[in-house]
Amino acid sequence: MKTCWKTPTSWKKLSSILCSPTAAILKAPSGNASLSLRSAGLSATEFIFQIEPEDAGERLDVYLAEQDDPPMTRSQVRKFLDRGEVRVNGQQVKAGYKLRDDDRIVWAHTPPTEPTIEAQAIALTLLYEDDQLAVVDKPVGMVVHPSIGHPDRTLVNALMHHFEELPTIGGELRPGIVHRIDKDTSGALAVTKTDRAHHHLADQFREHSIERVYHALVFGPGLPDQGTFDTLHGRDPNHRMRFTGRVTKGRRAVTHYKVMERFVSGAVLVECRLETGRTHQIRMHFCDAGCPLLGDALYGGKRTGQCRLIDRQALHARTLGFEHPDGHRVFCEAEYPEDFAQALQSLRAGGDWR
């Protein structure tokens, strides 16, 4: 059984995340490269969460559904609670149990489909690479790491094929992954090859010193030319797959934006600079502001979910800048993918997105 220590904040207490018993370097086998958790005899993963004061009073099922790993909806969490996989302070409790400060949750989770980290020959576009790290131009539709529902064909599977060594410090299913972007968001993503690089970039994410710029197409005829969204971030109580800033308790989420172009259809090209990096942060902020992203079925709903110009959320990780472990500055820019570029060209020509 593999054990993963988790804390409520993504990068808080990074050194206590012990998803690998040795934090060793993961080497891809030569030839027909394959490394499977099933073949290694690891059928269950033990996730351990230590509750902090900010999460006290929250329901157990709600709290677990908010965690990045294992990624599940609240209804899915309840099924595993009913199976008896989760214990709080050594006791089995119900889904509605109210968490207390310093509670210890142990979840011995066995996924219905065992994810793998098989090395798979998937094409990658590299914006930067050296012996310590790389920056990948992640394509639309690619999941970053294996999880329930996405056991393979992920960025991690591709990295295992392309690179000989990856650190496992971020978790055995997430070698080299120091941050993530959504499946249907494209653009620049940093990956690490050494523990040193992983720690160095993780520190910068925690300190909010990473330069992350996204471009998005939103419906915002009344959107001010620039501004800052500074809100809380939590699950939407009315839609468990979404997040919202309209909560009374949560973590801080900050997005700075400016309008780059306006179009006759009411669509707007915006540049977003992330100060924090919460799940769905940009999509959430513009939805809460009444200016949802074009093509965003989850947050746009009937307003912008159906877009004839692009069939996914119009969001692209344009630039990524950070300090390299050796001290120099790395700055990468990802060109627009074809669907985003064509949507932008149509809007500039006076086309309607509806």
Last residue of a domain, one of 75, 109, 143: 109
Q: Which of 181, 186, 174 is nearest to 145 (CA)?
A: 174
Q: What is the CATH number of the domain that holds 255?
A: 3.30.2350.10
118 assigned to some structural domain = no
Number of domains into which the chain is organized: 2
82 assigned to some structural domain = yes
CB of 256 closer than 8 Å to CB of 275: yes
CB of 56 closer than 8 Å to CB of 100: yes
Boundaries of domain holding 290: 213-317+339-348
8 assigned to some structural domain = yes
Catalytic residue among 61, 137, 182, 236: 182
148 assigned to some structural domain = no
| Residues comprising the chain, all counted | 354
Last residue of a domain, one of 88, 109, 130: 109
Mean pLDDT of each 10-residue bin along the chain, 354 residues long = 45 32 35 34 71 86 79 79 91 92 89 67 93 94 76 83 76 78 93 92 92 97 96 89 92 96 96 95 97 94 90 96 96 97 96 92
With vertex at residue 180, the alpha carbon angle to CA 15 and CA 255, rounded to the nearest 5 degrees, is: 100
- Give the pLDDT score at 43: 56
Told to judge if 182 belongs to the known catalytic residues of this protein, a careful annotator would answer yes
Dist. CA 225–CA 256, nearest whole Å? 11
134 assigned to some structural domain = no
Last residue of a domain, one of 83, 109, 135: 109
| Region of 312 on the Ramachandran plot (φ > 0 left; ψ -120 to 50 alpha; else beta) | beta
**pTM of the predicted structure, to 2 decimals:** 0.71
198 assigned to some structural domain = no
227 assigned to some structural domain = yes
Per-residue tokens: 222: 């009344």
201 assigned to some structural domain = no
